Chain A
Amino acid sequence: MIDEKMRQIIEGIVKKLPCRDSAVVPSLSFIQKVKGHISESDMEDLAIILQFPQARIFSAASFYSMLKLKPKATYHIQVCTNVACSLVETVTLFDYISGRLGIGEGETTPDGLFSLEAVECLGSCGYAPAMMINTDHYENLSFKRVDGIINAMKEKEGKTIKKTLE
């Protein structure tokens, strides 16, 4: 479902571009940014707003690896497993995080906090190893730094949960 406020923003995206066609990918990215993923009803609504067949919206949405059609965890960890990033250590960053969180590729922790994905090159080969968490880039990672990042996120979420309980 795309609400009125989102619809207006999407129409703003359309107006800024020379052609309506170009609004498809930015609109999908926008929906994902707001909702975390793109649902089927979002795509149906977007098709009406942009006046395109639903198939065209779905075709684009399902093609790009950064567009997610299923819900993800609060923190979606995407670790580069391409050549340069796997040259740095004998134990790769992916294996380390996988062990640390107890989840494999495509899995989510039971508390729904972290999900893990092995991805291809993030353009950080000179600053390897690298990962992205949601839309944030992390480079020159050591296992110690990764622990710090994950712990900070756990702590932050712990506090939010505590607050809502209170």
Chain B
Amino acid sequence: MDKIIFKNKGVPDSQNIDVYSDCGGYAVLKKALSLTPADIIKLVEDSGLRGRGGAGFPAGAKWRLLTKYRVKTVYLICNADEGEPGTFKDRYVMEFDPHLLIEGMAIAAYATGAHHGFIYIRGEYDWIAKVLVKAIEDAHSKGFLGSNVMGSDYSFYIDVFRGAGSYVCGEETALIESLEGKAGRPRLKPPFPAAYGLYGEPTVIHNVTTLSYIPFIVENGPQAYKSFGKQMSGGTALFSISGHVNKPGLYEYPMGTSLRKLIYEAAGGIRGGKLLKAVVPGGLSSPVLKSDEIDVEMDYQSLNAVGTMLGSGGIIVLDEDTSIPMIAMKTARFFAHESCGQCAPCREGTHMVFHLVEMIIAGKGSADNIEQILRLCRYIRGSTICAFGIAATLPVEALIKKFRNEFDILLHD
């Protein structure tokens, strides 16, 4: 066995509850209910499981933090807002293995003392929301959810909540605001959701993929999980590979697999036999890597060491004919469009960056404009409430710094 999330991949009708049960599903929930919540928190902590939404925060630490605040109602939220360009992993889990997610959520809820959970799914995934609603109904009727989960005295309910189109709602506190019926604008932290989350109650939020690793960890133990990857970054990761490759798609590989292997083996190499120019390694908000940097191992530490990040594992491959200024323009446009408008440096700055890049592409830019963009990027970063300011500026900055010549030839003087 070399897959965790993909263990049921290719099984016909894998979204069906009976098929999932026949593959051993919900047996782990039964096992979890025989353990104490503290035991489960320990297992997840020892596994070193880190959040797969992009920030990579240790999941066990989130749960541990919650035990400090657990006084009354606790909410569990599954973040299925998957909006990072280049990423399409959560939709696979929800569409083809929804019960894996539900089982993971039920275990996480039991461990953290939550009786009510939400799956916040992006509005565009309408057909997947329907799959989830059906799966939740089926799990209810079989006694895996609801009151007295599997004959225990534990109760857990899940609601599917559809977003309405907002990238920033993937940020956990913006997501909570959206769930509370407000515009999705991130809150100032602290307090963190573990102390003050949904409706002001302690709340634990995890990405779809993070929650889907829980059943494996509880079933096989932390060591089994760690044995997949490297010492510091254990487990596997889902890599969404898109762009100029022969076989774009979703792949599960151990943490620490080299980027070269993912591009040339998993995804079948560059389309049309062309040469590689650059790779965005972890979703659009991660700084770009040049073609001579792709021997990097895909894990948190190795990517940080080369100045970028694992993020959401969304790999966008760019061939030799790609215009880097165009990529910078589309990146800047995306972040200008998605800025929630709360903090002036981000609200104004992202639009200025976009217009400056546009100007350069139109042949009306000067060397000063490039310096202006770099300066704006530095000013926005660190002057905003949420990490959006970092996400918006790092990639544009990296594209300019690593491919400066492509911008320079567009300048009018």
Contacts and interface: CB of A to CB of B under 8 A. Distances in A.
Interface of A: 16-19, 21-26, 28-29, 52, 56, 59-60, 62-67, 81-84, 86-87, 120-128, 132, 135-137
Contacts of A22: 161, 179-181
Contact of A125 (B166, B181, B242): B242
Nearest to A27: B181
Given A22-B181, A60-B182, A65 B166 contact: yes
Nearest to B338: A120
Q: Which 7 A-B pairs have the closest CB atoms?
A: A24-B181, A66-B165, A64-B164, A63-B183, A125-B242, A65-B165, A121-B85
Contacts of B331: 83
Nearest to A66: B165
A123 B125 contact: yes
A21 to B, nearest CB: 4
B163 A120 contact: no
B161 A26 contact: yes
A19 B203 CA distance: 15
B241 to A, nearest CB: 7
B181 A64 contact: no
Interface of B: 82-88, 91, 116, 122-127, 159, 161-167, 178-184, 199, 240-244, 248-250, 280, 284, 314, 316, 318, 322, 326-327, 330-331, 334, 337-338, 340
B163 A84 contact: no
A11 B333 CA distance: 39
A82 to B, nearest CB: 5
A63 B168 CA distance: 11
Which residue among B82, B183, B240 has the maximum number of chain A CB atoms within 10 Å of its CB? B183
B62 to A, nearest CB: 21
A120 to B, nearest CB: 5
A87 B318 contact: yes
Contacts of A87: 242-244, 316, 318, 322
B159 A29 contact: no
Given A22-B181, A120-B334, A63 B166 contact: yes
